[in-house]
Structure 1
Amino acid sequence: MTQPRFDVLAIGNAIVDVIADSTDAFLAEQGLDKGSMRLIDQAEAVRLYGAMGPGREVSGGSAGNTAAGLAALGAKAAFVGQVADDELGAIYRHDITAAGVDFLVDPRSDVGATARSLILVTPDAQRTMNTFLGAAQMLDARDIDPAAIADAAILYLEGYLWDPDVPRAAMVKAIDAARAAGRKVAFTLSDTFCVDRHRDGFWKLLDDGRIDILFANEAEALAMAGTDDIEAAKARLAAAVPLLVVTKSERGASAIAGSERADVPAEPIERLVDTTGAGDLFAAGFLAGQARGLGLEASLKLGAIAAAEVIQHYGARPEKDLKALAGDLLA
């Protein structure tokens, strides 16, 4: 097998995050569940944007954040996601390219507006996300280049993009291309709402042996397994996938590969500011470790370091030098 051009090629929603400080009272007034993610239409996006406080525009999107984190850790990363030929689309393309990620899809003028997520952050650093998918849900199977997929050691997919029919077909094509090329496929469950809507489809991916690495947080793992026992959930999922990674917020993370298991604590932080992107950057660190041939524990450690950096500032892209923070792990 030839040496791949990319360590990881990520496919996901290309979204510009608009992040604003909020209060529990404002969330209640708007009828929003703190810590949740909901999909909204363009009219609701305009209404809520008018009601919320001043926002900071930061390029985001789950898989895009992971790609940016990978590049910050010195990995060769590419991203596939759809933006419109508009102002936010130009911002997104500039930001991810400037982060050192190869952006492989051209903007289009026939897909509506570029996606945006209105993220309300309360004083306890919980983020409540209101996402208008716009152009992101128009990623077409024609935009998937099998040669580019084959040129990546790992294909990484976000569960969020599984929801609309059009990009789901694109992701299926990408999985087919990766498997045909003998590459690994990583998948993140993204959110319990994704699991609730697509549990059967996700299980089919696992049962058919189409996923090599599965990322989940504890709530997602419980939802997938249909149990309230986290160890039972891990056991069931680990039996269905070669490598399972489960994050546990401030309690660290676990990885299980057959009979091998590793657990690491969360990295210490000075101040919790915004949890947006914590899981995305954890995946970046873990995948960077796997791309370098590191073991489970070292890969988990890299994930914890990357996640700790991103939750200490607003936005889901790293601001400090992740390679310096990783130290000897990347030496």
Structure 2
Amino acid sequence: MPNYFDVITIGGATQDTFFISKNYSVYGDILHLAWGEKFIVDDLFTDVGGGAANSAVALSRLGLKTAFWGKVGMDISGQVIAQRLKQEKVSSKFLIVDDKAQTSTSAIMVGNSGERSIVMYRGPNDDLLAHTKNFEGIKETNWIYLSDLGANTEKLTTEVIKLVKKEKLSLAFVPGQHQLKLGLSSLKSILAVSKILILNIYESYTLLKGKFPGEDKSSCHFNDRDVKEMLREFSLLGPEKIVVTRDKCGVSCFDGVDFYESQAINTKNVVDTTGAGDAFASGFLAGIIKEKDIPTSLMWGNKNAGAVISFYGAQHGLLRSLD
């Protein structure tokens, strides 16, 4: 009997508030806000976010049976998130509602070019293992999409590894800030059971080599030989398909045999880059699940990311068809 879900996403859900202004003071890549100063913004926008919630919505819109496993508080923000999941036909069977927690919240400062800085209260996203009553049910899926897990990342990752091995599930690993801070040695066990690994170029270099080189943080800083070397190194750790996103320089992929490149979508009106990575990863995974080839799956990811950055928020621009 086939599993009930195509994908279950594991990770965070947040209530995001966007503070939009053309007048933020940015020097290099540093946002300057004077301590004690009141700053008036041009516009305000509120939406649902969080890597796993974004990806669940994206995958559902692309026709996959999707569930979200994560936690919210018993407050207005938690209700908004639960309602969004329902509207987007994402199962909340594994949604944990904690009456003692305040739902994770982010304040996002968005500037003129669509780039942003985020101040975040992680709340229940840092304690996903506190309520494990539904965890065994995650075996009701063909794929697990694992994103940022917060402070308890090591314990929950161990549980995911056990489940993937026991139930022979397919795992797409899209590590977040907390996982990346653990370093490569701490991630080897999860990489060994991953079918797909998706990282950006900065994360890839930092994990493999340490501190990012020099002052130039452009994604085009690396030549193709550098990127292929990193893809090969990750491949030796277990993932069957490794994808490295390079912003405007496109995407690189390695399946253990062949290398693939895909150009970024030329989006003329970049409004907000929040959620672009989630949109890409979801589009790529949807292609793989639907048995598309790698070039097509990469194109799906790029199209989804290009659509998202044309809107404020991580979910409004997500596409419903990528063919």
TM norm structure 1: 0.84
Match of 1:307 in 2: 305
1:217 aligns with 2:200: yes
1:163-312 mapped onto 2 (5 Å cutoff): 163-165=150-152, 168-191=154-177, 194-206=179-191, 209-226=192-209, 229-240=226-237, 241-312=239-310
- Do 1:115 and 1:135's aligned partners in 2 also have CA atoms closer than 8 Å? yes
Structure 2: gaps spanning 5 or more residues: 214-225
Partners of 1:197 and 1:239 in 2: how far apart?
19
- Do 1:20 and 1:55's aligned partners in 2 also have CA atoms closer than 8 Å? yes
1:63 aligns with 2:52: yes
1:67-86 mapped onto 2 (5 Å cutoff): 67-86=56-75
Match of 1:3 in 2: 2
Deviates most, 274-283 or 231-240: 231-240
Report the 3-state secondary structure (helix = DSSP H, G, I; strand = E; otherwise coil) of the residue aligned with 1:202.
helix
Match of 2:90 in 1: 101
1:25 aligns with 2:25: yes
The alpha-carbon distance between structure 1 residues 151 and 128, as it changes in their structure 2 partners (threshold 3 A), is same
Report the 3-state secondary structure (helix = DSSP H, G, I; strand = E; otherwise coil) of the residue aligned with 2:72.
coil
Letter in 2 for 1:28: H
The alpha-carbon distance between structure 1 residues 13 and 248, as it changes in their structure 2 partners (threshold 3 A), is same
- Do 1:149 and 1:178's aligned partners in 2 also have CA atoms closer than 8 Å? no
- Do 2:18 and 2:44's aligned partners in 1 also have CA atoms closer than 8 Å? yes
Superposed CA RMSD in Å reads: 2.3
Partners of 2:76 and 2:40 in 1: how far apart?
21
- TM-superposed deviation, 1:321: 4.3
The alpha-carbon distance between structure 1 residues 135 and 146, as it changes in their structure 2 partners (threshold 3 A), is closer
The alpha-carbon distance between structure 1 residues 270 and 286, as it changes in their structure 2 partners (threshold 3 A), is same
Match of 1:16 in 2: 15
- TM-superposed deviation, 1:5: 1.5
- Do 1:221 and 1:246's aligned partners in 2 also have CA atoms closer than 8 Å? yes
TM norm structure 2: 0.86
Letter in 2 for 1:25: S
Greater share of helix: 1
**In the comparison of the two structures, how many residue pairs are matched?**
301
- TM-superposed deviation, 1:286: 0.7
- Do 1:141 and 1:171's aligned partners in 2 also have CA atoms closer than 8 Å? no
Partners of 1:320 and 1:108 in 2: how far apart?
29
- Do 1:69 and 1:317's aligned partners in 2 also have CA atoms closer than 8 Å? yes
